[in-house]
Structure 1
Amino acid sequence: MPIPSRAALVGHLVQHRIAGDVATPRENNLSHYRQLANGDRHYWLGLELGDRWSDEQDVLAVMAERCGVNDDPGHRAGQDTIDPELTAAALDRLAARLRKAAAGRERVLFATGHPGGLLDVHRRTAAALRAAGCEIVRIPGGLTADEGMVFQFADVAMLERGATLWHTHSPAPMAAILDGLEHAGRPLPDLVVADHGWAGCAGQRGIDAVGYADCNDPALFIGEAEGALQVTVPLDDHILDPQAYDPMTDYLLDAAGLL
C-alpha cells in the first residue's frame, strides 16, 4: 500500500470517521468537559489540573482549538467533529519527536488503554523505533494496578483482568510501571508514547510524553496546552475497523523517517 500524501491522509481520516464527523456524540463530549471542570479526577487522566480548568467553557475552547470540536456553547446535542487537518498536523509534530528519539537512540515506552483500537498503532511504531536503534523499555514483571495485571504484549504495556485486555483511562498502571522501574534501579524512559491516563501520568511526572486522544477526553489536550505533554493527536480512538488506522500509521512512520 503506498504511503498516503497529506491530502490523501485527510480524506482517509474523514472516510473512516477517524476524524471529521466522528461517532462520539456532542452530549458525551460536553458531559466529559463538565466533569473535568468539576474536578472529577477520572477525567484528568493522571494530570494535576488544580482549579485552573474549573470553567467548562474554557475546556470547550481548548477542545475547539486543538481538537476541532464545534466551538458553539449553544450546540448541546447531536453531531460533533474532529478537524482532520489538526489530526494531520499533530501527526507531523509526533513524527518530529519520533525522529528525535531515533536519532538519539532513546529509551521509549509504549502503552495503551485502548487495546481494541490503538494496539497495532503502538506496536508498529515500537517496531520501527527498535529497528532504528532505540531501546524499547521492558516493564518489570509482577506489576499490579486497579485489580489487574500490568503486562507487555508486542512491546506495548496494557492492563489485563481475567485474561482480558482492559480499556482503561486510569493513570495507575503507568504509575506502577514507573515506580517499578525506579524500585529496580532502572532508568526511566526518555519518551512515553501512549494514550489516556498512561500518557497523562508520564507527562505529569516530567517524562517526555506524547499521546492519542478522542474528542471526549479533554485532559491530554489541556496537558499539551500547558506543556505537560509534548503532542496530543486528536482522533476517534476506537473505530469499528482498527485496520483503517494503518494508512495513518504509515504516514506517521514515513514522516518520521522510520519506513
Structure 2
Amino acid sequence: MSTSPAPSRSELIEHLLQTRIAGEVATPRENNLSHYRELANGNRYFWLGLELGDRWSDEQDVLAVMAERCGVDEDPQHRQGQDTIDPELTVDALDRAVPLLRKAVADRQRVLVATGHPGGLLDVHARTAAALAAAGCDLVKVPLGLSADEGRIAQFAGVAVYERGASLWHTHSPRPMAEILDALPQEGEPLPDLVIADHGWAGCAAERGIDTIGYADSNDPALFLGEAEGTLTVCVPLDDYVVSPRFYEPLVAYLLDASGLSAA
C-alpha cells in the first residue's frame, strides 16, 4: 500500500482528471441515460436497495439531480458520446464524509465496510477499514454461513463481499447487505453505526436508517437520489472501475488525512 503524502485538494482534482476517475469518464452518455430511464420506469435493479416509490418517474428529474450532484451534462439533448463527473463534486463529497469518519473514531463506533465492485473499489474500502480499526473503531464481523443470490457472503481484508465459485463478484444487489443486517441481531450483535459501501450494499443500509457513505458512478443514479432525499448520508461520485485500482490511492489518502486517520 502506498505511503505517499496525502494530496492537497487541487492536487487531488488534477489526479482525478488525469486518471479519469472524474472529468471525462469512460462511461458513455448512452449508458447513463439508459440507467436513468430504467430507474424512472420502476426497474428495481437500478434502485440499489432504496425504496424510491413513484417519486422519480420522470427521467429528466433524475438527470437534473445527476447534473447537480455528479456533474453529468445537464442537456437532455446530449444523447450520445462522452459524459462527465465533476471532480470538484467528488472532493466536496469526500469533505462531507470527513465528519462521519471523525465521529466514528471519537465514539468508537461499529463500522461495516462492504463493496459490490471488488475489481475497482476493494482497496479503497480495505484501506479505509484498516485505518478505522487502527483508530479504535469496531469493525463489524460478517456472521459465518450467510448466503444471497446463489452465492455466499464473505469478508476479505475487513470488507464484506459477494462470492460465487471461489471468486469475488460484481453485484448491484441489496440482498447481501440485507442478509448481514438481518443476521446480526439474531446473533446478539448490534447493528453498525456507520456503513461505508457502494451499489446495493450502500442503498440497503441507508434504507434501513444507518448512516451511510456510498461511492457511485455516473450510471448508478439511485444513491445520488438517496442523498438528495436525505436517506443516504453522503454519495461520492467517481468512475468505479478505472485502468488500475492504484489510481484511487490519492483519493483514499486525502480522505483519511482529512479525517485525522493514518493510512494503514
Q: When the two structures are superposed, what TM-score results if normalisation uses the length of structure 1?
A: 0.99
Gaps of 5+ in 1: none
Partners of 2:106 and 2:248 in 1: how far apart? 25
**Which SS does the other structure have where 1:21 is aligned?**
strand
Q: Which residue of 1 aligns with 2:68?
A: 65
Partner of 1:203 in structure 2?
206
Deviation per CA, 1:51-78, whole angstroms, max 9, x where unpaired? 0000000000000000000000000000
* AA at the equivalent of 1:223: G
For these two proteins, the number of residue pairs brought into alignment is: 259
SS at structure 2 position matched to 1:78 = coil
> Is it true that 1:167 corresponds to 2:167 in the alignment?
no
Structure 1 ranges of 4+ moved more than 6 A? none
Which amino acid is the alignment partner of residue 222 of structure 1?
Answer: L
Distance in 1 separating the partners of 2:218 and 2:98 = 21
Partner of 1:129: 132
Aligned residue in 2 for 1:9? 12
1:217 equivalent to 2:217? Answer: no
Verify: 1:153 aligned to 2:148, yes or no. Answer: no
Q: Tell me the SS of whatever aligns to 2:236.
A: strand
Q: Secondary structure at the match of 1:253?
A: helix
- Structure 2 residue aligned with 1:36, among 25, 36, 39? 39
Residue in structure 1 matching 2:58, options 55, 75, 84: 55
Q: How far does residue 185 in structure 1 lie from its aligned partner after superposition?
A: 2.0
The letter for the 2-side match of 1:77 is Q
- Cα drift, residue 179 of structure 1: 0.7
3-state SS, counterpart of residue 43 of structure 1: helix
| Cross-structure match for 1:247 | 250
Deviations 1:166-214 (A, max 9, x none): 0000000000100110211210000000000000000001111111000
* Structure 1 SS opposite 2:152: strand
> What is the aligned-residue identity percentage?
73
**Which AA in structure 1 matches 2:119?**
G
Please tell me the residue identity of whatever aligns with 1:55. Answer: D
Match of 1:94 among 87, 94, 97: 97
Structure 2 segments unaligned to the other structure (5+ residues) = none
Aligned to 1:257: 260
CA RMSD of aligned residues (A): 0.5
Code of the aligned partner of 1:242: P
TM-score normalised by structure 2 residue count = 0.97
**SS in structure 2 at match of 1:250:** helix
Give how far 1:240 is off.
1.1
**Aligned with 2:120: secondary structure?**
coil
| In structure 1, distance between residues paired with 2:140 and 2:126 | 13
* 1:106-134 alpha-carbon deviations (Å, 9 max, x no partner): 00000000001100110110111111110
Quick one: distance in 2 between partners of 1:158 and 1:25?
27
